[in-house]
Amino acid sequence: MRQYINYTNFVALICYIIGRILNMGILCWIGLGIMTLTSIWTIIHWKENDKMSNYISVAFLVLVGLSLFGL
C-alpha cells in the first residue's frame, strides 16, 4: 500500500507542475487535492511508514498551503 501512496503523490506532483506550467487551474487543483488526501492519509498512519515518506507528506502539505495562499 505504501508504494501506491508514493506513486500517487508523484502523479499528483506531476499534475500540479504541468498545471502550473500550462496555466491550467483545474489540473493544479486536481494535483493539490490528490496531494492533500494522500498526505493526510500518510500522516494518519505515521508509525506504519518510513521517515522519508512522512517527511515528503509534510512537504507536500506545505506546498499545498503555500499554493492556497498564492505564494
- In this predicted model, what pLDDT tens digit does every residue of 52-69 receive, in sequence order? 888 888 998 998 889 888
Taking every pair of Cα atoms in the chain, the longest distance, rounded to a whole number of angstroms, is: 38
pTM for the structure as a whole: 0.83
Rounded Cα distance between 14 and 8, Å, is 10
Find the mean pLDDT for residues 34-54.
Answer: 87
